[in-house]
């Protein structure tokens, strides 16, 4: 332990010296536009992902309370053993319908959804092409799979096409991108990605966490913003931002893909189900 402690202290010192030390600000109120900090100071909050202001919405809160009384605080089980209630199935159907897809699958977070999708779908015969500014969860999910990995320059379609040409021998090629990038706020050039995917017979994957619920005319995200509804093969997104802000993530796609994830996606298979109050709040807050 002595050597471990020394290594840990050295790493902590390096983080502090680099100016990247993270300090948690303690909030003494609910999540909203004006919040109260633990020191009593009242401030305007510009940094939450509570895009539609639903995290403190009374109707959403009441839906969670009702579910707490009816279904309990949690299920103490994974989905396929005894962790699926009617409200989980209802929410998955609503999500799929909202996105115009055949099916959807719930996760504890979109980080889990991203961590579980690439390994479940891709083999060592495949290739995944990822934007260099994709979210950390996409990067980590790709690391877990056996596919050959290509990283293309941020929103650079010429570089993406070069990588598609380099990976011609792959059985499947999957292009992975954020819809709206959390790193810099830019939007992925979806029209160009779809065109390249068609040209090279590739699969498209979009993480729409920073778009679902408010981006596009009816909140259907990056696809709708580009007037390309139904064009992306796989969409991952979150219930923890615009859609109530509690927690949860999902994948929505064709039924066969979702069925395979239910059988093979490790975060889904080995994580407890979303708590009923969280599911109910999403059911109430979502634009479904």
Bridge partners of residue 250, in order along the sequence: 106, 237
Three-point CA angle 152, 189, 47, nearest 5°: 90
Question: CA separation (Å) from 162 to 130, 166, 168, 188?
Answer: 13, 6, 10, 18
CATH number for the region 58-285 comes to 3.40.640.10
Q: List, for residues 29-56, the tens digit of each pLDDT value.
A: 999 999 999 999 999 999 999 999 999 9
Q: Could you tell me if 179 and 211 are in contact, meaning their C-beta atoms sit under 8 angstroms apart?
A: yes
> What pLDDT sits at residue 287?
78
pTM attached to this predicted model: 0.95
The set of catalytic residues is: 182, 210, 241
Strand 203-207 relative to strand 173-178: parallel, antiparallel, unpaired? Answer: parallel
Domain ranges for the chain: 1-44, 58-285
Rounded CA separation 21/19 (Å): 6
Q: List, for residues 137-166, the tens digit of each pLDDT value.
A: 999 999 999 999 999 999 999 999 999 999
> What pLDDT sits at residue 238?
98
Phi, psi of 243 (to 5 degrees): -90, 55
Please state, as a whole number, how many other Cβ atoms lie within 10 Å of the Cβ of residue 74: 15
Rounded CA separation 33/51 (Å): 10
Strand 148-152 relative to strand 127-131: parallel, antiparallel, unpaired? Answer: parallel
Which residues of the chain fall short of a pLDDT of 70? none
> What pLDDT sits at residue 245?
77
Strand 127-131 relative to strand 42-44: parallel, antiparallel, unpaired? Answer: unpaired
Closest by CA position to 280, among listed 93, 60, 69, 110: 60
User: 3-class SS at 36?
Assistant: strand
Rounded CA separation 35/44 (Å): 6
């Amino acid at each position: 332990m002595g050597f471990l402690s020394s290594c840990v202290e050295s790493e902590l010192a390096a983080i502090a010296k680099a100016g990247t030390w993270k300090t948690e600000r303690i909030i003494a109120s609910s999540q909203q536009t004006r919040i109260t900090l633990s020191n009593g100071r009242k401030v305007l909050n510009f940094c939450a992902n509570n895009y539609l202001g639903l995290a403190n919405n009374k109707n959403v809160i009441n839906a969670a309370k009702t579910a707490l009384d009816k279904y309990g605080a949690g299920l103490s089980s994974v989905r396929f053993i005894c962790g699926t209630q009617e409200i989980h199935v209802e929410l998955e159907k609503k999500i799929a319908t909202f996105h115009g897809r055949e099916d959807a699958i719930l996760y504890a977070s979109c980080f889990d959804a991203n961590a579980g999708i690439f390994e479940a779908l891709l083999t060592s015969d495949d290739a995944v092409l990822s934007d260099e500014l994709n979210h950390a969860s996409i990067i980590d999910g790709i690391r877990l799979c056996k596919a050959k990995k290509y990283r293309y320059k941020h929103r650079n379609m010429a570089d993406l096409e070069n990588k598609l040409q380099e990976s011609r021998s792959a059985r499947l090629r999957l292009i992975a991108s954020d819809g709206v990038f959390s790193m810099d706020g830019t939007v992925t050039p979806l029209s160009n990605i779809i065109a390249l995917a068609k040209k090279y017979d590739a699969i498209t994957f979009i993480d729409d966490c920073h778009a679902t619920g408010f981006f596009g005319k009816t909140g259907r995200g990056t696809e709708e913003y580009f007037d390309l509804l139904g064009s992306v093969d796989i969409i991952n997104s979150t219930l923890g931002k615009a859609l109530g802000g509690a927690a949860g993530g999902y994948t929505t796609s064709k039924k066969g893909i979702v069925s395979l994830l239910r059988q093979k996606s490790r975060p889904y298979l080995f994580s407890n189900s979303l708590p009923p109050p969280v599911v109910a709040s999403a059911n109430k807050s979502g634009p479904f």
